[in-house]
Structure 1
Amino acid sequence: MANMAVKQLQFQQVISLSHPINPRIPLWPGDPPVEFEEVASLEQDGYFLRRFSMGEHSATHMNAPNSFYANGMGIDGYPAEALVRPAVVIDVRGKTLGNPDYEISPQDIHAWEHQHGLIESGSVVLVYTGWQHFWNDPAAFFGQDAQGSHFPGIGEAAISFLLEHRQVAGVGIDTHGVDFGQSSTFAINHAVLAENGIVLECLTHLDRLPATGATLVIGVLALEGGSGSPAAVMAFIP
């Protein structure tokens, strides 16, 4: 019998990084609304039950490769062990809050590593832009105008560095896209999902996480062939 490495997860606190889901959440333009319908009630049926409908990329969610690649894996293809990952948090609010079109650069990563050390291979890099605080104001969250949406994201040079030189497992962000709002190519999604990596969007409570040391446990619905799924993302804090 092969020797199995024993992995231990020690923590003092668990923080949810997912927004509650309701019909008022910010929705990507053109995406289906969040809808709830009562199908059984305590008064009439003895139990309470609703049905719900929403897009696969709405609320706090994870994207799947087949959302950008015709032969890509669906959300149900991720093995369980791929969804438990060490996390680092890069706080770029100083750059983004005055510039909603800001793209995270390699310089931002180098500055973070100068303070905290090199990003560990297999990590998920979470980017705290401050946009989580606009969640209850969809107009501010998207910054929509005649040119389209305006919110920060990860730049192409930064994602190339993270994938090629740090071998990260994926990225997450508190905006509605790891690609910034003005992107028309979704290059960051393409780059990460080409390797069956992790893309998390619409995260929250990133301000409550340490820069290093947290472990993410990502719960997705195993939607067969799904292009993504709403996600319950838990951060375990040592």
Structure 2
Amino acid sequence: MKVIDLTHVVKEDMPVYPGTEAPLLEPANTYEKDGFKETRISMFSHTGTHMDPPAHLFPQRTTLDRFPPEQFIGKAVVIDCRDLSEGESITMDRICRVGEKAELADFLLFNLGWDQRWGSKSYFGDYPCLDDEVMDYVLKGKYKGIGFDVIGLDPIADTNLTRHKKLFAKTEIVNIENLCHLEQCGPGLFWFSCFPLKIENSDGSPIRAVAWFE
């Protein structure tokens, strides 16, 4: 079985969304003093490779802990968008290129090649985003989730979070951000899992996103 880790490492000097704080990983117990190691972890719920549920935007909508576990596992396909320039839109042409695999997948994962900018200022630049037609396609498709190797579904400049609101207003779906290594998954369907921490009333959670091939 081939397994690919699609997850950035959580560490104190990692990139975080503008306005939030980087994680703190503080020693709570040590080998020398206590005979074992334990770490106090302090971070925002949308740190690193993470997942948004509908409750991220709307009160009374579904939190991550209320989703059944099967929401976080299924077949995925990568939509290759690496040739798009900054500021361009992801259009239906990109979906059509993978053919029926887009309809057979539970998760659509969009590869912008942006993970290569992880750790640099350009990671927070004008990355391509889904246009309205693709958003409508996703909403009609009954997908379990969509995912990206950029820091947001919306451009950083869109403080209204227009796409987030459209995605989560009525649909039981999750949105994954800050994926990496999507180019290693190839053009076909593959198994994908993205389990979050089971936190009460969770508006988001870091995940361990993994692809595997039997």
Fold match, TM over 0.5?
yes
Q: CA deviation at 1:122?
A: 5.4
Conserved 8 A contact 2:4-2:212: yes
Q: Which of residues 186, 204, 207 in structure 2 aligns to 1:228?
A: 204
Deviation at 1:169, TM superposition (A): 2.2
User: What's the CA shift string for 1:171-193, capped at 9, x where partnerless?
Assistant: 10000012233333323322333
Q: Which amino acid aligns with 2:11?
A: N
1:103 is aligned to 2:78: no
Per-residue deviation at 1:210?
A: 2.0
Equivalence for 2:81: 92
Match of 1:140 in 2: 122
Q: 2:149 aligns with which of 142, 154, 174?
A: 174
Contact residue 34 and residue 54 of structure 1 kept, 8 A: yes
Instruction: Tell me which amino acid in the other structure corresponds to 2:117.
Output: F
Secondary structure of residue in 1 paired with 2:25: strand
Look up the match of 1:30.
19
**1:20 & 1:202 partners in 2: Cα distance?**
11
Q: Distance in 1 between matches of 2:57 and 2:104?
A: 25
The Cα shift of 1:111 comes to 3.0
> Cα gap change, 1:110/1:179 in structure 2, threshold over 3 Å: closer, same or farther?
same
TM-score (norm 1): 0.84
Match of 1:163 among 91, 116, 139: 139
The corresponding residue for 1:187 is 162
Asked whether the 8 Å contact 2:77–2:105 carries over to 1, the reply is no
Q: Any unmatched runs of 5+ in structure 2?
A: none
In 2: Cα distance, 1:49 partner to 1:80 partner = 28
Q: Is the 8 A contact 1:155 1:179 kept in 2?
A: no
Any gaps of 5 or more consecutive residues in structure 1?
Answer: 1-11, 144-149
Task: Name the SS of the counterpart of 1:119 in structure 2.
Answer: helix
Supply the AA of the counterpart residue of 2:55.
N
Q: Corresponding residue for 1:47?
A: 36
> Please, which moves more after superposition, 48-57 or 207-216?
207-216
For residues 14-46 of structure 1, the C-alpha deviation after alignment (integer angstroms, 9 at most, x for no partner) is 111100000111111111221011011100100
Matched residue SS, 2:103: coil
SS in 1 for 2:36: coil
TM superposition shift of 1:121: 4.7
Question: Aligned pairs, how many?
Answer: 213
**Structure 1 runs, 4 residues or longer, greater than 4 Å off:** none
What is the rounded CA distance, in whole Å, between the counterparts of 1:162 and 1:128 in structure 2? 16
SS of residue matched to 2:70: helix
CA shift, 1:232, in A, is 0.5
Q: Is the 2:197–2:206 Cα contact (8 Å) retained in structure 1?
A: yes
Residues in 2 aligned to 1:50 and 1:14: alpha-carbon distance in whole angstroms: 28
Of all paired residues, the percent bearing the same amino acid is 25
Distance across 2 between alignment mates of 1:71 and 1:32: 27
